Structure 1
Amino acid sequence: MKLPEDVRQFLARRFQSKHREWLIGGPCEGQWPLEVTLGVPTEQAALRQVDGVRAWVSAWQGWQGGGTLSWCERRWKALGVQRLPEKLALGGPEDVATWVGESTRWERAQSRYRTLTARWPLLAQQLPRYFDVLADYGDADFHRLAEMLDWINRNPKSNLYPRQIPVPGADSKWLDSRKGIISDLIATLQGDPTGERDFFSRCGLRAQPQLMRMRVLDPALRALLGGLGDISAPCEEVASIGIQPNNVFVVENLQTGLAFDDLPGAVVIMRLGYAVDVLGQLPWLQHAQCIYWGDIDTHGFAILNRARTYIPSLKTVLMDEPTLMSHRDLWVEEKEQHLSIELPMLTNTEQKLYQSLKTNICGQQVRLEQERVRWDVAWTAIQESIR
């Protein structure tokens, strides 16, 4: 015997798995009405649980909700004539949404789906992927999204920076969190749903140049640059810089790089994160000794692994077990570990430490941020790495 709460839980699961499909087609032949049988008991079963049957009938007598409730009559020898709830028929998604408390979201999503597909029929199959956008965006955000799609679709090769698009309220913060949906829907409108997904390429927009922050640590090298020692410039400009350092340090965090003192023949590149692929664009780096120093955590080793695909000879400093264990009091927890089981570009020693971090041998998701390494220890190791 299904109580109203049992039916609600069943319909909640059905809504969760089917609501996107329902958005496309509405009622389909054979799908609606959706009938839910309520489990009418036999007389023998009813006799074994008379109070339970009474509570079940009472619950449905007080029921108010979407769909149509059907009752049946049973003539039982011991219990006489009984009127019992037999099945619930739901005429469409709106009835299911009413049952599970999703009426407002369903109606809003359906209305916006119809608005966008009336304007762009090509989006009919793609929009249900973004049900939550349709259901939960405020009116201002929804209209802004529609106008952004309209403008880019009409101006596919504008070569403007995103902030130059004449759509009110589409500032950088708003746009950054919506690049995925915009490029996806524009690709569909352009008839190329499986093609280029890069937001700027797909939308015909100009990306801001990727800046590289680098410090020149050798006074002689700085003299070649007119005394310039702290450089932030597009990668292609750094690639053509007129110096040839002997030693290149790559550090994960900005303040670490800022802490470096002068070193002969050296530069330090800072705060690339996972964008270490730009190192492959620096021809002068191929003739230098390159040394990477990152956080001792799974992402630090993942960045190192990625960097070695561009600089196979890349060495490390201060990314070893002795450094980790001697700074135990400064450990913090790495909130989300890197997903890879193994990183093929690591050395055996690095791989062993990576596995220790992944399997929590040292502690729960241990992380030692490079800025926390005692500077007297760090600076000695840095100097020794280039002797």
Structure 2
Amino acid sequence: MKTTEQVLTDIERRLVSTWASCAAETARMTSHTAAAAEGTGSPTPPAPSEQRSSLSTSWPHAFPLGQPSSTNLAKDFSAAAAWAATWRAWSTKHGVSLRTRTRRVHTTDQEFPTHLVVPDANHAARLCGRHWPQRLERGRRRAILLAECFPHLVEAGLLAATIAAVDELSEVDFELLCRAGAWFAKHDATGLTPRQVPIEGLHAKWLNHRLGLVRRLSARDDLGLLPPHPPRVHFTYLDPGHLAAGGRRHDSATIGDQALPAYQPRVVVISENKDTAIHFPELDGGVSIEGVGRGGAAIAALPWLPAAEHILYWGDMDADGLEILNEFRAAGVPARSLLMDLPAFEQWERFGTNVDARGRPLQARMPRPVPFLTDAEETLYQSLTAETWARHRRVEQERIPLDVAASAVRRIVGDIQAG
């Protein structure tokens, strides 16, 4: 038998999967009403995908409450009766109805609730509370505007998906998105960079992050913009002989160019932190690469990387650092980790922290799939993301002395060669 908290979880789960479709249906009905009032007839009917996910098929919905078994009714009728009374009182208080079933108990007929019937998404949002009423209202306002300004979204059955995609945008960003979609629908941007697009308030980073949405609103598969400039990888030479001979210490490579480094590195250390890469101690045949964030595709594309005998990745001992390590391996970088397992964490946890760079608390979170981590690395990852973890959630790599990291590299290289 379910409690009110359990059923509210069920209601919110359904609301999560249907709220955008409900908002889209509101926009379609508003458009239909406006067209009828103006005497222009019905607008284009919704696409099949929109019809299948419409408000009418999502709500009302009956949520099962569970049923006391005949054995439990016979053994503890008072508990079952109290449960039924709780649901009757709760449904009356919140303005929702119950479906009931007659049960035979001790030679008498008793009515027990079987389902809670929620009539519509508005009611579901009020029951769930928190952000839901505002979220649903915002979705409907945006759906009406999108349907009016970009009717092809309705015709193509894309309105609900678009409402969900813009849900987290601020009002400023949503307004800018609509202006960008309208501009690209009417103008040819062939040959322009994102930075050169003449839309007030728009900047290149904003546009690069929302190209898919802008393409969808403008009904263009290709906006005609010039591709991003090829990525560059910055690295530091560590070989003492090269440096003693006056060779340059810092270098960079543009992906796609054929330029080779001053020497073919034997050992490559990819560092998540720029400072640790630049200041890494001397290392025979070594090069340290600035990993600077997620991804790894650019570094994986370096033509001289596969020829290195030893490739190591050194990042923060936190959930993000281990996810980045997983991403580098997924991109094709066959790196061993450096100081990124539970023994290393325990050794250096005295320098740990529980806040991020902005001073916000680091929280437990749902772990992501990390199929490219070793068992030892995944053990640390699962610990750092767990609700039950009561220790620090991050040890930043720059807190570990560089000579310790360099010694660890030499030890790893030596062990590999000895094996």
TM-score, normalised relative to structure 1: 0.62
**Residue of structure 2 equivalent to 1:382:** 409
Structure 2 residue matching 1:286: 3-state secondary structure: coil
Partner of 2:42: none
SS of 2:227's equivalent in the other structure is: coil
Question: Considering only aligned residues, what root-mean-square deviation do their CA atoms show, in Å?
Answer: 5.0
Q: 1:315 aligns with which of 333, 336, 357?
A: 336
Give the counterpart of 1:266 among 270, 286, 294.
286
| Range moving further from structure 2, 366-375 or 300-309 | 300-309
Confirm or deny that 1:348 pairs with 2:348: no
Give the residue type in structure 2 aligned to 1:20.
A
Q: Which of the numbers 313, 317, 330 marks the counterpart of 1:292?
A: 313
1:184 corresponds in structure 2 to 216
Residue identity opposite 2:368 in structure 1: S
Structure 2 partner of 1:148: 180
Report the CA distance between 1:328 and its aligned residue: 2.2
Moved more, 177-186 or 358-367: 358-367
Alpha-carbon spacing, 1:237–1:227, altered in 2? closer, same or farther (3 Å): farther
What CA distance in whole angstroms lies between the structure 2 residues aligned with 1:228 and 1:348?
39
Partner of 2:203: 171
SS of 2:311's equivalent in the other structure is: strand
Structure 2: how far apart are the matches of 1:354 and 1:209? 32
Q: CA deviation at 1:260?
A: 0.9
- Is residue 25 of structure 2 the alignment partner of residue 21 of structure 1? yes
Shift of 1:327: 1.8
Residue 372 in structure 1 maps to residue 376 in structure 2:
no
| In 2, Cα distance between equivalents of 1:374 and 1:108 | 55
Flag the 1:308–1:128 CA change in 2: closer, same or farther, 3 A: closer
The structure with the larger Rg is 1
For the 8 Å contact 1:218–1:263, the answer to whether it is kept is yes
Q: Which amino acid aligns with 2:201?
A: G
Cα 1:290/1:141, change in 2 over 3 Å: closer
Distance (whole Å) between structure 1 residues aligned to residue 321 and residue 282 of structure 2? 25
Query: 2:301 is matched with which residue: 277, 281, 293?
Result: 281
Q: CA deviation at 1:102?
A: 9.2
CA distance in 2 between counterparts of 1:19 and 1:203 reads 32
Does residue 162 (structure 1) correspond to residue 214 (structure 2)? The answer is no
Gaps of 5+ in 1: 1-9, 36-55, 57-89, 193-200
Q: Distance in 1 between matches of 2:321 and 2:174?
A: 39
Gaps of 5+ in 2: 1-10, 33-50, 61-91, 93-118, 126-132, 355-361, 415-419
The answer as to whether partners of 1:239 and 1:283 remain within 8 angstroms in 2 is no
1:381 aligns to what SS in structure 2?
helix
Which string of whole-angstrom CA distances, capped at 9 and with x for unpartnered residues, describes residues 200-228 of structure 1? x665432133221211122554699x843
Question: Contact (CA 8 Å) 2:231, 2:298: kept in 1 or not?
Answer: no
Q: Would the alpha carbon gap of residues 110 and 294 (structure 1) be closer, same or farther in structure 2, given more than 3 Å must change?
A: closer
**CA contact under 8 A between 1:105 and 1:135: conserved in structure 2?**
no
Distance 1:268 1:238, change over 3 A: farther
Partner SS, residue 149 of structure 1: helix
Once the two structures are superposed, what CA deviation does each residue of 1:7-35 show, in whole Å capped at 9, x if it has no partner? xxx9xx7977722222123369x96xx99
- Per the alignment, in what secondary structure is the counterpart of residue 326 of structure 1? helix
Contact 2:232–2:298 under 8 Å retained in 1:
no
Q: What pairs up with 1:1-387 in 2 under 5 angstroms?
A: 18-26=22-30, 108-109=141-142, 112-117=145-150, 125-131=157-163, 144-154=176-186, 158-172=190-204, 174-176=206-208, 178-186=210-218, 189-190=219-220, 204-218=225-239, 220-221=241-242, 227-237=247-257, 240-241=260-261, 243-288=263-308, 289-309=310-330, 313-333=334-354, 334-335=362-363, 337=365, 339-340=367-368, 343=371, 345-359=372-386, 363=390, 366-387=393-414
1:268 Cα deviation (Å)?
0.5
SS at match of 1:296: coil
Kept after mapping to 2: 8 A contact 1:296/1:324: yes
> Does the Cα contact within 8 Å between 2:153 and 2:217 map onto a contact in 1?
no
Task: Give the distance between the partners of 2:325 and 2:278, measured in 1 at CA.
Answer: 20
Q: Is the 8 A contact 1:249 1:291 kept in 2?
A: yes
Equivalent residues of 2:194, 2:225 under 8 A apart: no
CA distance in 2, matches of 1:258, 1:287: 22
Q: Is the alpha carbon distance of 1:20 and 1:319 closer, same or farther for their aligned partners in structure 2, counting shifts above 3 Å?
A: same
SS in 2 for 1:346: coil
| TM-score normalized with structure 2 length | 0.58
In the TM superposition, what is the alpha-carbon distance from 1:230 to its structure 2 partner? 1.9
Distance verdict in 2 for CA 1:377–1:21, change over 3 Å: same
1:293-329 per-residue CA deviation (whole Å, 9 max, x = no partner) reads 1122233233223333455752222123332112222
What is the Cα deviation at residue 167 of structure 1? 1.8
Q: CA deviation at 1:247?
A: 0.9
- Please, which moves more after superposition, 144-153 or 292-301? 144-153
| Contact kept? 1:239, 1:284, Cα under 8 Å | no
Instruction: Give, in whole Å, the separation in 1 of the partners of 2:385 and 2:174.
Output: 42
| Deviations, residues 109-153 of structure 1 (Å, cap 9, x unaligned) | 3662354136x5776632444448599865x76664344224434
Give the % identical residues. 28
The corresponding residue for 2:85 is none
Separation (CA, whole Å) in 1 of partners of 2:301 and 2:168:
44
Q: CA 1:353 to 1:25, structure 2 compared with 1: closer, same or farther past 3 Å?
A: same
Q: Note closer, same or farther for the CA distance 1:337–1:212 as it changes in structure 2 (3 Å cut).
A: farther
Contact 1:358–1:365 under 8 Å retained in 2: no
Q: Is residue 313–residue 325 contact of structure 2 (8 Å, CA) maintained in 1?
A: yes
